[in-house]
Amino acid sequence: MSSSVPLLRAIDELSANPEQLAAVQESGHCVVLAGPGSGKTKTLTTAMARALAEDVADPRGVACITYNNECAIELETRLGRLGVATGDRAFMGTVHGFALSQVIAPYARCVPVGLTADFRVATRGESRAAVETAYAIAIGGIDDPHRRWSFASEKRRRDVDRSRPEWRGRNPGLATFVEAYESELRRQGLIDFDDMPLLAYRMIKEHAWIRDALRARFPVLFVDEYQDLGYALHELVLLLCFGGGIRLFAVGDADQSIYGFTGANPELLESLTARRDVRTIRLRFNYRSGGRIVRASLGALGEERDYREVAGAPEGELTFWSVPLGHCMQAQAVADTVIPKLVEKGIALDEVAVLYRAAYLGDKVALALKQAGIPFVRTDGNAIVRRSSRLARFIEDCARWVVGGWRNAEPRFGRLLGQALTLVYGRHASDHEEQRLSDQLMGFLQATIGFSGSTHEWLHRFDRELIAGWRASARNLEQEWDVCAEMIGNTDPARNLDIPLPHFAGRVEGTGRVSLSTLHSAKGREFDAVVMYGVNASDFPSERDKRSATSLREARRLFYVGVTRPRKELSLVFQEHHHSPWVIELYARSQG
């Protein structure tokens, strides 16, 4: 496959940055340490496209493992602009999706892993019931089984290789609990999400021919946001890349590791950079933020880094908003003062984000914005749309088509059909199945053009006319049909949550929507202006953060992630005489 014009143009654009160009052209194991705004995604997708064009002969391909489905969708979009369509030659998805679709589904029938031919992914309710059954068998007593399971689950994610002595040597009671839980799932023909990479690891480790088959199909493995992906992914990488002959290209930033509660550990990324057989490349230039924001971010992190703004970039602005009382009054100040001031400076509402530590704080901001008549969209735990869900994104895209996107093919029907086929049938559907699903989807979309009801009513109709039938015929093992029911609950008019369908679809004429997000959900995103709300001494750091040096360090990284989101302006809102101590460090560094 020869290099396409878009790819050649992308490589040429990187020539001004020697680190990016070196990463894209590297033909051995490579780890790219990419700070905020350093062009990480552009570097990753260009490297993938170049590998497919120059290093990997058709029909072989590459695999890219991402933190969540939202990241995968973004990478797929970027690759499409370089002339690469994901499919047989380019897998794009989470570590769970890779394990399920590339290892378990094709090979589980060939090796003894305890799965029935018709196994499926357990629902949340089935998993909880299996925990309770396993607790009664393995432990007993009157304690809360789910509280104990939180510890067992952590051990399960950490101790991936159960042939090592620490599996039984370190808290054997939890090991017994995990094994009883997995046995109960298998008895019912089920696996859960944490099972996926664990089973894949065991299958690959115990059967060299599976490792060979993966290398034959995917001679290069790309990993995005390595610091967030945890022990199972790391063990898979060691097995496939440093024991199985697959080339590794990993991108990450230990300073942005903020998912310790899911098992992520920045030391795993750092251990790769210490290997002699891995080339480490650090991207130093921040293309996103002005110099003052870049300097402030280092104050927020509390450590020195060799990051610099691009020559000629605006300095950027920092503003500090001291409010007399607590969270409610701070939310009111955001709605009544901070956001209007940003709009006066010419910043569009859809380029403004309000960031906070927890979803309940988002409730306070949402109420204040609603009272002020400022439209918003939430991407936190109380959002209508779960951003990491492919089904939720598909439903939102369908709403965009219905409320006006059909006029200019935005999104294209072909894209919607492709999403639906993947959701229902995985990657392979017959011509008859494709035609039938196409007719169903187009029939629904055309029937709801000009829909005069609310989002809640439209979602009910979507669930009744499409989801019900698709659920019954689906072959995709990674099902998430309950997401539609969640969205219906999240627009409940009885709780004053319902909104007009054009608002849900992001098509409110003449106005954009302010983004409300937790700091965790904002990672990887960027805006012209960011308002960090609730930057109080009791919130940054919280008492819980202070319990250990590890949790305090992660809280500091979380603060850093928020500070590095804006392109032009960062506004910090806090209680008068009660601001975070990190604000002082941030301010002092920004003046340097």
Binding site per annotation, positions: 34-41
Q: How does the average pLDDT of the chain come out, rounded?
A: 90
Q: Which residue in the block uniquely carries the two structure tokens 């679809």?
A: 505
Give all strands (DSSP E) within 386-466, no chain letters: none
pLDDT over threshold 90, residue 347: yes
**What is the Cα Rg of the chain in Å?**
24
Taking only the tens place, the pLDDT of each residue in 333-345 is 999 999 999 999 9
- Tell me what percent of the residues of the chain surpass a pLDDT of 90: 62
N-to-C CA span, the chain: 50
Let me know: does 530 contact 358? Beta carbons within 8 Å: no
Label residue 246 by pLDDT band (50, 70, 90): very high
The rounded Cα 523 to chain-centroid distance in angstroms is: 8
pLDDT of res. 98: 92
Strand partners, 319: 571
Taking only the tens place, the pLDDT of each residue in 435-490 is 999 999 999 999 999 888 889 999 999 999 999 999 888 877 666 788 888 889 88
66 three-class SS:
strand
Specify burial of residue 506 (Cβ count, 10 A radius: 0-12, 13-18, 19+): middle
Rounded to whole angstroms, the Cα distance separating 534 from 554 reads: 18
Rounded to whole angstroms, the Cα distance separating 493 from 469 reads: 26
Rounded to whole angstroms, the Cα distance separating 565 from 277 reads: 33
321 three-class SS:
strand
Rounded to whole angstroms, the Cα distance separating 481 from 436 reads: 19
pLDDT of res. 477: 65
Strand partners, 320: 572
Q: Which of 53-62, 268-277, 310-319, 449-458 has the highest mean pLDDT?
A: 268-277
Phi/psi region, residue 302 (left: phi>0; alpha: psi -120 to 50; beta: rest), is left
Top-confidence residue, 592 or 412: 412
Architecture, CATH, for domain 5-105+200-283 = 3-Layer(aba) Sandwich (3.40)
pLDDT over threshold 50, residue 509: no
Rounded to whole angstroms, the Cα distance separating 79 from 524 reads: 17
pLDDT of res. 252: 94
Binding site per annotation, positions for ATP: 34-41
Of 163, 139, 161, 165, the closest CA to residue 151 belongs to 139
- Span 260-280, mean pLDDT? 92
Phi/psi region, residue 189 (left: phi>0; alpha: psi -120 to 50; beta: rest), is left
Q: Which CATH class is domain 291-382+511-591?
A: alpha beta
What are the DSSP calls for 235-295, one per residue? HHHHHHHSSS--EEEEEE-GGG---GGGT--HHHHHHHHT-TTSEEEEE-EESSS-HHHHH
